[in-house]
Amino acid sequence: MRSTTSSGTSSPPWRRCRRRCARCSPGSTRRRSAARPNRAAGSRCCRRRSARAPSRSSSSASPPPSPISTTVPTASSRAPSPRPTRPPRASARGGDRVTARREAAPGRRLVLASLGAALVAAAGQPPPPVVDLTVQIGPNVNPGVDGRPLPVAVKLYLLTAAGRFQAADVFALIEREAATLGAELIASEQIVFEPGQTRQITREADGRTRFLGAAVLFRDIDRAQWKSIAPVASTGVTRLRLTADRLESALNPA
């Protein structure tokens, strides 16, 4: 394609190139490169100015800067603005609960103080008396008419004193127990044992208990040794042993 001058006549490519580069001539092999009109100076046909002129490829690769400036948002600009928080509303029910707790606090403190005082008092008091009794019945206990052993009843008495129990007979204890022992009697119970039986009995006694009386009700009571008594400690455990065989019985410390 040939370029057109201002006079209207077309000029060969080498003349177009010759205006910009005097070294280009009609016989030059580089005139082919000036075939395109309006070719920028310093192209392949002009090695002398190629170093001075900017590269076309590099100029075309980088786009011209946009006149519109863009603003890159920062992390602080992207963060949402904090919303105003409302103060929590005090509910009427919650206020009532707080008021009720404040009103109940003195009562609770009084109860806790009384419980603490009771625990301290209980810790300071000695333990109540306890009777730990072992009853051993022999194989030949309470013989009958034919000489064979028979079951026997044992009656136990918790006493504050030993005078009335030691003075009473068997019929007075059986028929008129309360009248015979009076204020010395705290409690009593009756247990039936088989020949050869052994049993452990533990009873928590009253603080007034000082003696334990035992009455073994043999069939032939007139010839039997049926009554015995032993002291009981005012606090703690008292261990005793009651033995009975044939027509004899004894209550001793275990």
**Token duo for residue 15:** 């003349």
Residue 199 is assigned to a structural domain of this protein? yes
Spans of the chain, pLDDT less than 50: 1-7, 14-15, 18, 22, 31-35, 49-51, 53, 57-61, 68, 70, 75-77, 92
What pLDDT sits at residue 3? 46
Based on the fold, state whether residues 135 and 45 are members of the same structural domain: no
Question: Does some domain include residue 73?
Answer: no
pLDDT for 83 equals 63
Using DSSP's 3-state secondary structure scheme, residue 201 falls into strand
Question: Are 50 and 138 found together in one domain?
Answer: no
Quote the number of domains for the chain.
2
User: Does a structural domain hold residue 110?
Assistant: no
* Cα radius of gyration rounded to whole Å, the chain: 64
Residue 191 lies in a domain: yes
Q: Which domain holds residue 237?
A: 129-253
The secondary structure of 176-198 as a DSSP string is: SHHHHHGGGEEEEEEEEE-TT-E
What is residue 211's three-state secondary structure?
strand
How far is residue 3's CA from residue 24's CA, in Å, rounded to a whole number?
Answer: 16
Same domain, 142 and 49: no
Contact 36, 17 (CB under 8 A): no
Asked whether residue 101 is domain-assigned, the answer is: no
CB neighbours of 70 closer than 8 A, spacing ≥ 6?
A: none
Q: Are residues 143 and 50 in the same domain?
A: no
Verify that 33 and 145 share a domain, yes or no.
no
Same domain, 137 and 241: yes
Q: What is the pLDDT of residues 18-75, one digit of tens each?
A: 455 545 555 555 544 444 555 555 555 555 544 454 555 444 445 555 554 545 555 4
- CATH code: domain of residue 174: 2.60.40.4150
In a domain, 96, yes or no: no
Distance CA 250, CA 225 (A): 8
Alpha-carbon distance 132 to 122, whole Å? 23
How far apart (Å, rounded) are the C-alpha atoms in residues 164 and 157? 12
Structure-token pair, residue 214: 């035992």
Last residue of a domain, one of 16, 35, 59: 59
Q: Is residue 102 part of a domain?
A: no
SS3 200: strand
Task: Indicate whether 135 and 53 sit together in one domain.
Answer: no
Domain end position, chosen among 15, 33, 59:
59
Q: Does any domain span residue 48?
A: yes
